[in-house]
């Protein structure tokens, strides 16, 4: 099966719609979301509604959990906490109910799905080979998909060897047929790898390969929505830089 993997939408409707349009043009049969539908961006209800309509699987991210009160917003950075409090006041009852049903991990598929990591599905940023080794030691499935860091990257570990990893470029393909893997699709709504385009991943669970994708979207429109909502200007400014 060919599956579209998305993560870290963060209330950015413009980016999410562009990615969904690209998925519609692809041969993907399902879309799975690794969490953080809300936070930072100014259109949380629209993003949750799009996930409700299109995601066969959707996880909870730390921002989703912060908005519904499962996590205290004091654990967030200043900008993230301000956005979480604003989102909490803005979302509809239907959006809240949807977010409350989500969990930060799903182990029912042929690959493990985590918002953050197999060691800590909510908070851990997996950005180094050492962290990857520690995660690979505890994960149940040979291949796991993770989000949270907003960086398109992967780590792999052949039998008897330590983990290696790197960031990934658009249209780069991974051969997942051997070894253990942690694969991050990057962020739809707030990339932090220097490429401002919305990121997503095509995963082939029959041939065991993955292909990284990027798509242009209306960054100016997303930034304008953030400013209109009077959220911190830095949340709008960073979108143009992919940081």
Give the separation between CA 103 and CA 122, rounded to whole angstroms: 9
The predicted-structure confidence for 22-39, as pLDDT tens digits, reads as follows 999 999 999 999 999 999
Identify the pLDDT of residue 139: 96
User: What does the block give as tokens for 64?
Assistant: 């989703």
CATH class given for the domain over 2-240: alpha beta
Give the separation between CA 203 and CA 141, rounded to whole angstroms: 15
pTM of the model: 0.97
The predicted-structure confidence for 172-187, as pLDDT tens digits, reads as follows 999 999 999 999 999 9
Smallest CA-to-CA distance from 163 within 204, 185, 135 is with 135
Span 88-100, average pLDDT: 98
Residue 71 CA: distances (Å) to CA of 35, 60, 122? 15, 12, 10
Is the separation of the CB atoms in 94 and 68 below 8 Å?
no
Averaged confidence pLDDT in the chain:
97
| DSSP-derived secondary structure letter, 53 | H
The predicted-structure confidence for 113-147, as pLDDT tens digits, reads as follows 999 999 999 999 999 999 999 999 999 999 999 99
Number of neighbours of residue 11 by Cβ within 10 angstroms: 34
């Amino acid at each position: 099966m060919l599956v579209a993997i998305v993560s870290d939408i963060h209330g950015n409707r413009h980016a999410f719609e562009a990615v969904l349009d690209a998925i519609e043009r692809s041969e993907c049969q399902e879309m799975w979301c690794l969490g953080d539908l809300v936070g930072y961006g100014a259109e949380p209800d629209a993003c949750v509604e799009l996930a409700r309509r299109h995601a066969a699987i959707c996880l909870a991210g730390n921002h989703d959990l912060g908005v519904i009160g499962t996590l205290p917003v004091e654990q967030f950075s200043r900008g993230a906490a301000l956005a979480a409090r604003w989102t909490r006041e803005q979302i509809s009852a239907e959006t809240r109910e949807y977010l409350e049903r989500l969990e930060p991990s799903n182990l029912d598929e042929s690959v493990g799905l985590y918002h953050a990591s197999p060691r800590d599905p909510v908070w851990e940023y997996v950005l180094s080979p050492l962290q990857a080794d520690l995660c690979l030691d505890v994960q149940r499935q040979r291949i796991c998909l993770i989000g949270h860091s907003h960086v398109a990257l992967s780590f792999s570990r052949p039998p008897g060897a330590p983990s290696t990893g790197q960031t990934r470029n658009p249209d780069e393909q991974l051969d997942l047929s051997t070894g253990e893997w942690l694969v991050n699709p990057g962020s739809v709504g707030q990339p932090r790898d220097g490429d401002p385009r919305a990121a997503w991943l095509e995963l082939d669970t029959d041939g065991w390969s993955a292909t990284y994708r990027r798509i242009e979207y209306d960054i100016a429109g997303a930034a304008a929505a953030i400013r209109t909502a009077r959220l911190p200007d830095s949340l709008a400014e960073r979108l143009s830089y992919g940081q």
